[in-house]
Amino acid sequence: MAKAINWGIIGCGKVTEVKSGPAFNKVPGSKLVAVMRRNAEKARDYASRNNVPRWYDKAENLINDPEVNAVYVATPPSSHAQYAIMAMKAGKPVYVEKPMALNHSECEEMNRVSEQTGSPIFVAYYRRMLPGFVKVKELIDSGAIGTPVFFSINFFLPPYRDDYQPGLHWRVIPEISGGGYIFDLGSHQLDFIDYVLGPVAQVSSLAFNQGNLYRPEDFVSAGFRCPGAVAGNAVWSFNAPEHLRQDKIEISGDKGKIVFSCFDFSNIILTVGEETRYFENQRPAHVQQPLIEAVVSELQGKGKCPSTGISAARTSKLLDDIINGTIDTG
C-alpha cells in the first residue's frame, strides 16, 4: 500500500461533518482528497467548506479517481455493499460505516470480494479504539473483575422528534437501515460485547413495535451466551418515557464488576469488593479518529485495526438473529 493514504468519501452527510471527516486530515500519513454525494450542490459545498480538492456526484467517478487509494463509504446501509464491492474490485481498501451492510448476507458477499481482490475492508465500530472503551477491555483482560460471568445492556431512549413524522427518518425504514434503531445504535453495544467477551454463541429474543410510530421494532429484549459460559441479557426501548432514559452496560466477573455507558461518555466504574474506582471516559473531538488511525496504520503495514469485515459481519448476523428469530404467536 502506498505510504500516503489518500481518501475519498462516498456519502459526505451528517456523520462526516464532525465524527469522521476531519479526522482523515489529522491522522499522520492520511489525507482527504475527494468527496462524493448524489446532490452535486451539497458535494460542492462540503468540499468547499472542508478544503477538499475534488468533489463528485457519481460514486464510480470518485472510485476511479487515480489519486484516491482508499474509500470511506458513509452512505446509509442499503448501499454499503454496492459501493464497497465496487471500490474493492477497483483495488482500493474500504472503510465502511456501521452497520456493515443491510444484512448478514450482504456482509458475507463483501468479505468474499475482499478475499478475492485482496482489498481489505474495515468497519466504523469505533468504540473498539476509543480510550475509555480500550480501558474497559484492559480491565477485563487484566483480570480486574476476575473471570467474566455475566453482562447486561439497558438502553432506554425516548422517541426522536422525527419519529412522529412517518417516513422522514431513514434509520427506521428497514429497506434502507436494515431495521429499527437497534441496527443503528444497538449495533455499537453488541459489537463491543463481541470485542471484549468474544462472539455470541447463542441468542434468544423478543422484538416488537410498542409505540407504533414507525414500522420496525422499537422494543427488543434478548438473552445471550458467550464463550466461557458467559451469560448476558439486554433490553432496548426506543419508545421509553423520559424518566426511564438509561444508557448502561455492566460486565460482572467472579471478583467484581465494571459499569459504563455506550453513548454518554460518563465515568467508568470499577467495583471490586468494597472498593470502587472511577476512570474518565473522554470523548475525542472526532470520535472516529482513533479507529481511522488504526486503519491507516494497518494500510501502511505498521499495525492492525481491530474492526474488520469479519468482526463486523458477526455483529450483523447477531442483529439478524435477534430480529428474525422472534416468533409471533399473536
- Higher model confidence: residue 327 or residue 163? 163
- Say if residue 158 is in the same domain as residue 222: yes
Domain harbouring 33, CATH code: 3.40.50.720
Going by C-alpha positions, the residue among 201, 207, 200, 281 that lies closest to residue 237 is 207
Q: How many domains, in total, are found in the chain?
A: 2
- Say if residue 159 is in the same domain as residue 29: no
Residue 140 domain flag: yes
Q: Per-residue pLDDT tens for 145-170?
A: 999 999 999 999 999 999 998 778 89
- Say if residue 26 is in the same domain as residue 73: yes
Q: Per-residue pLDDT tens for 100-126?
A: 999 999 999 999 999 999 999 999 999
Going by C-alpha positions, the residue among 30, 174, 181 that lies closest to residue 93 is 30
- Say if residue 114 is in the same domain as residue 138: no
Domain harbouring 245, CATH code: 3.30.360.10
- Say if residue 197 is in the same domain as residue 160: yes
- Say if residue 11 is in the same domain as residue 106: yes
Cell of 3: 505510504
Q: Per-residue pLDDT tens for 228-268?
A: 999 999 999 999 999 999 999 999 999 999 999 999 999 99
Residue 298 domain flag: no
Is residue 172 predicted with pLDDT exceeding 90? yes
- Say if residue 136 is in the same domain as residue 118: no
- Say if residue 138 is in the same domain as residue 245: yes
Q: Per-residue pLDDT tens for 267-288?
A: 999 999 999 999 999 999 999 9
- Say if residue 89 is in the same domain as residue 179: no
Residue 309 domain flag: no
Cβ proximity of 160 and 205 under 8 Å? no
Residue 153 domain flag: yes
- Say if residue 120 is in the same domain as residue 149: no
Cell of 318: 447477531
Residue 288 domain flag: no
Residue 317 domain flag: no
pLDDT confidence of 53, banded at 50, 70, 90?
very high
Residue 229 domain flag: yes
- Say if residue 63 is in the same domain as residue 155: no
Percent of the chain with pLDDT over 70: 98
| CB proximity list for 212: less than 8 A, separation 6 or greater | none
Domain boundary pick from 65, 97, 125: 125
Mean pLDDT of 39-68: 98
**Residue 55: domain span:** 5-125
Going by C-alpha positions, the residue among 81, 83, 115 that lies closest to residue 316 is 81
Mean pLDDT of 43-70: 98
Residue 299 domain flag: no
Domain boundary pick from 125, 158, 177: 125
Domain boundary pick from 125, 146, 163: 125
Positive or negative, the Cα torsion across 121, 126, 128, 131?
positive
- Say if residue 214 is in the same domain as residue 135: yes
Rounded (10°) CA dihedral 139, 143, 145, 151: 80
